[in-house]
C-alpha cells in the first residue's frame, strides 16, 4: 500500500478550503510536537514529505497527502500549544474539531500520544469529542525509542485500560518510533486493513 508514490495534495488553513472528498481518508491528530509529521514521513519512507521541527507548532494547516492513489493521509496541526497567540490557538482548535466531526470519508483518526507521557487531560478532551461524534480512533504511542524496555508494556496496558469505556476507541494500542522504525510495519498493516474494508 505504501510502496509507490506519496504526493502532497493541498494544505487547508480553514474548513472552507478543504480538498474535495475522494476515497478513504485517515488523519493523524495529537498534541503539538508529538511526532505526527515525522510519522507521516516514516510511513511513506519520504523524509521530507511532511515538514517537521524541534519546536512545537510547525504544522499550522491540515496537510493532505495522496498515498499511491489509494487513500488520503491528513497531517493535522497539533493541539495544546500555548506559546502562540491565543487567537491562533482558538482558530486551530476550532478547525481541528470541525474537521474531525464533519468529514464523511474520514475512516479513522490515529490519535498520537507521546509514549513517554501517556494520555493528558487535553488528549482525553479530544477523545471525548470523538466519542461524542462517533468518530472511530486508534491510539498510537510515539517516540517509543525514548522508553525503557521495562516501561513499554505498562504504558501500553495503562492506555488500553483508559480506553476500555470509550465507545469509539479501537482497543489495540500501537507503540511506534520514527527514529528506530518500531511499530511502523504494524501501523501500515492497520491502515491497510482500513483501506481494504
Ligand atoms: P506539530 O506540527 O508542531 O504539531 O508537531 P508534530 O506532531 O508534527 O511533530 P514533528 O513530527 O514535527 O516532531 C517534533 C519533534 O519530535 C522533532 O524534534 C522530531 O525529531 C521529534 N520526534 C518525532 N518522532 C520521534 C521519534 O519517534 N522519536 C524521537 N526520539 N523523537 C521524535
Ligand atoms: Mg507537524
Distance, CA of 24 to CA of 12 (rounded, Å) = 18
Q: Which of 27, 53, 122, 174 to mutate to test the pocket of ligand 1 (most atoms within 8 A of CB)?
A: 53
Strands (E), the chain: 6-12, 25-30, 62-67, 71-75, 106-114, 137-142, 174-175
pLDDT value for 58: 86
Q: Which three cell numbers stand for residue 60?
A: 499550522
Cβ 142 under 6 angstroms from ligand 1: yes
C-alpha of residue 45 to centroid of ligand 1, in Å:
15
- What is the Rg, in whole angstroms, of the alpha carbon atoms belonging to the chain? 16
pLDDT value at 36 more than 80: yes
pLDDT value for 56: 87
pTM: 0.95
Q: Which of 63, 178, 180 to mutate to test the pocket of ligand 1 (most atoms within 8 A of CB)?
A: 178
> What confidence category does residue 152 fall into, taking pLDDT thresholds of 50, 70 and 90?
very high
The residue contributing the CA closest to ligand 1 atom 16 is 35
The ligand 1 atom at the shortest distance from the C-alpha of residue 57 is 3
- Work out the burial of residue 93: count CB atoms within 10 Å of its CB; fewer than 13 is exposed, 13-18 middle, 19 or more buried: middle
SS3 content of the chain, % helix, strand, coil (to 5): 35, 20, 40
User: Domains in the chain, ordered, with CATH?
Assistant: 6-196 (3.40.50.300)
Q: Is the ipTM beyond the 0.85 threshold?
A: yes
Cβ 32 under 6 angstroms from ligand 1: yes
C-alpha of residue 103 to centroid of ligand 1, in Å:
26
74-111 confidence digits (pLDDT tens):
999 998 876 667 777 777 788 888 999 889 999 999 99
Cβ 180 under 6 angstroms from ligand 1: no
170-191 confidence digits (pLDDT tens):
999 999 999 999 999 999 999 9
Distance, CA of 79 to CA of 98 (rounded, Å) = 13
pLDDT value for 83: 67
C-alpha of residue 136 to centroid of ligand 2, in Å:
21
Amino acid at each position: 500500500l505504501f510502496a509507490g508514490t506519496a504526493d502532497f495534495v493541498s494544505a487547508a488553513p480553514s474548513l472552507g478550503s478543504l480538498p474535495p472528498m475522494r476515497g478513504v481518508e485517515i488523519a493523524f491528530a495529537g498534541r503539538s510536537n508529538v511526532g505526527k509529521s515525522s510519522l507521516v514521513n516514516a510511513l511513506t519512507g519520504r523524509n521530507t514529505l511532511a515538514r517537521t521541527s524541534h519546536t512545537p507548532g510547525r504544522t499550522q494547516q491540515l496537510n493532505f497527502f495522496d498515498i499511491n492513489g489509494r487513500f488520503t493521509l491528513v497531517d493535522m496541526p497539533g493541539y495544546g500549544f500555548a506559546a502562540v497567540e491565543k487567537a491562533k490557538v482558538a482558530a486551530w482548535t476550532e478547525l481541528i474539531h470541525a474537521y474531525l466531526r464533519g468529514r464523511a470519508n474520514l475512516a479513522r483518526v490515529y490519535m498520537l500520544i507521546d509514549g513517554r507521557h501517556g494520555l493528558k487531560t487535553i488528549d482525553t478532551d479530544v477523545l471525548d469529542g470523538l466519542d461524542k461524534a462517533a468518530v472511530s480512533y486508534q491510539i498510537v504511542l510515539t517516540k517509543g525509542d525514548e522508553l525503557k524496555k521495562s516501561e513499554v508494556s505498562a504504558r501500553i496496558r495503562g492506555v488500553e485500560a483508559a480506553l476500555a469505556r470509550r465507545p469509539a476507541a479501537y482497543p489495540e494500542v500501537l507503540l511506534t518510533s520514527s527514529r528506530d522504525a518500531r511499530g511502523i510495519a504494524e501501523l501500515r498493516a492497520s491502515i491497510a486493513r482500513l483501506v481494504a474494508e
